[in-house]
Amino acid sequence: MLTKAHRVYHWDRLSNSIFSDRLEEDCVPLLARGIAVYRARIGDRLGLVRNAARTVLQGLRPDRIEAAIDLLDEVATYEWPRGGRQGDERVKIFAAAADAHPLLDPESRGAILGPALGESVFPDGGLTARLYADYPEFHRLTAFPETYSAADLRDDYDLAQAQALLYDATAVEVDAGADLKHIVQYARLSRLLHRLERLADGRYRLSFDGPNSVLRRTHAYGVDFAKFLAALVQARDWQITARVAIHARARPALYRLSSKDGLRSRLAPPSLFDSDLEEKFAEKFGAVRNDWRLGRETMLLEAGTSLLVPDFSFRHADGTEVAMEIVGYWTPEYLARKFRKLAVIHGVNLIVAVRRQWALAAGDPPPWVLPFKTAILLKDLMPRLEAFRRQAPRLGRPRGD
């Protein structure tokens, strides 16, 4: 992913719309030259590799070059000394050389540094590279994937520019006509605060609090939003509408993106679970426990005009069904809104697992809240499940693929 410093976009002042940069087809040969540099410079330090790449990428528009190089660095493999030993070596060398400072004479320099470094002759720049090998400038390129192509780099660039625009989104809506199950799963895996509702035309809308909204963890949430987009582009029939506040004093600009724009991601399909908490819970519970069968995001619940896809569902052999939602990211406003939304769900056996400190901070929690400290304990959950067996209302509609 790119930083804001390498973000390239186009702004239409009349419509106050914004567009992320896309590379043209005639850029592909230049990208291939950049890739060739990385493959040819195995063993060189990062600074030299990047400078060589800048030279062959001069045919690109200047504002695109650094972004392309950053993406090449993400694909490349670099090695450097770890564990703080390099810093200890610098201290030892500086202490040995302190009395003879400045070491301008190569012979005296070698006599003092030789015993400390195990060598006394260094090529031009070699001493600096040796002393500061743990600094990014001096990291050594050790590998570059043989299968990575110029087309891959172009796809990565186009996607990364779209991701970088969303870092400053104040609000985002995703309309989905297909692959709803996967899109909701992507949002959960990316730990994004979202609301789900059904539209009049039968499509579904996910509304997100953007990274540049009232959240306390703006940077981390912005990165999670970028991860969501990388997964979303693998789905079908979707459209994003976002308000992006590029400049603090300017009115947020409108940003639209859809599956028709042809963005591609090389990411593998997402894992089944949103977090370690959920994965560990599922492993602990197992597929079946005490005649309760565990399901993962198999239900769709109606909460007024909104829809909710619970994290887990439990179905007993006698037909009793229970839905369980686990609250991840939170703000006081989000938790209060979540509780209000869940309160309008009727005729459903519902459990909402919330970290104890969050539940207490929200005031008097509703009876369907299951507080937990660091993990959801079966000794707390199982009595809740069994209590529902005396009443078996219909759960939400089962969700198909």
Tens-place pLDDT, residues 333-360 = 777 777 888 888 877 899 999 888 887 7
pLDDT of residue 328: 67
CA torsion through residues 205, 210, 215, 216, sign: positive
| Bridge pairing between strands 288-289 and 312-316 | unpaired
Q: Say which residues have a Cβ less than 8 Å from residue 249's Cβ, sequence separation at least 6.
A: none
- DSSP helix, strand, coil percent of the chain (3-state; round to 5): 40, 20, 35
Domain boundaries, the chain: 85-138, 276-392
Q: Say which residues have a Cβ less than 8 Å from residue 363's Cβ, sequence separation at least 6.
A: none
Average pLDDT of the chain to the nearest whole number: 85
**pLDDT tens across 158-196, in order?**
999 999 998 888 889 999 987 777 788 788 777 787 888
pLDDT of residue 47: 95
CA torsion, ordered 161, 163, 164, 167, to nearest 10 deg: 160
**What is the average pLDDT across 302-328?**
84
Q: Is the pLDDT of residue 213 over 70?
A: no
Look up residue 382 and give its two tokens.
């199982």
**pLDDT tens across 43-53, in order?**
999 999 999 99
Q: Is the pLDDT of residue 11 over 80?
A: yes
Whole-number Å distance between alpha carbons of 22 and 359: 45
**pLDDT tens across 83-94, in order?**
877 888 888 888
Query: pLDDT band at 217, cuts 50/70/90?
Result: very low
Are 196 and 307 in contact by the 8 Å Cβ rule? The answer is yes
pLDDT of residue 115: 73
**What is the average pLDDT across 107-131?**
68
Q: Is the pLDDT of residue 308 over 80?
A: no
pLDDT of residue 138: 93
Q: How many CB atoms are closer than 10 A to CB 247?
A: 11
pLDDT of residue 180: 77
Specify the higher pLDDT residue, 251 or 28.
28
Query: pLDDT band at 1, cuts 50/70/90?
Result: confident
The secondary structure of 309-334, three-state, reads: CCCEEEEECCCCEEEEEECCCCCHHH
Look up residue 344 and give its two tokens.
């309008």
Query: pLDDT band at 240, cuts 50/70/90?
Result: very high
Specify the higher pLDDT residue, 76 or 133.
76
Whole-number Å distance between alpha carbons of 191 and 391: 33
Whole-number Å distance between alpha carbons of 171 and 349: 32
Whole-number Å distance between alpha carbons of 166 and 158: 13
Q: Is the pLDDT of residue 144 over 80?
A: yes
Q: Is the pLDDT of residue 154 over 90?
A: yes
Whole-number Å distance between alpha carbons of 14 and 237: 28
Kindly report which listed range (123-127, 167-171, 261-265, 383-387) carries the lowest average pLDDT score.
123-127
Are 331 and 287 in contact by the 8 Å Cβ rule? The answer is no
Are 316 and 292 in contact by the 8 Å Cβ rule? The answer is yes
Q: How many CB atoms are closer than 10 A to CB 30?
A: 19
pLDDT of residue 306: 67
Q: Say which residues have a Cβ less than 8 Å from residue 208's Cβ, sequence separation at least 6.
A: 169, 171, 172, 173, 174, 187, 192, 193, 194, 225
Q: Say which residues have a Cβ less than 8 Å from residue 311's Cβ, sequence separation at least 6.
A: 188, 274, 278, 296, 297, 324, 325, 326
Are 242 and 171 in contact by the 8 Å Cβ rule? The answer is yes
pLDDT of residue 394: 47
Percent of the chain with pLDDT over 90: 45
Are 337 and 376 in contact by the 8 Å Cβ rule? The answer is no
- Strand (E) or helix (H) holding 19: strand 17-20
Look up residue 173 and give its two tokens.
């809506």
Q: Is the pLDDT of residue 104 over 70?
A: no
SS3 215: coil
Q: Which residue has the tokens 């990565």?
A: 156
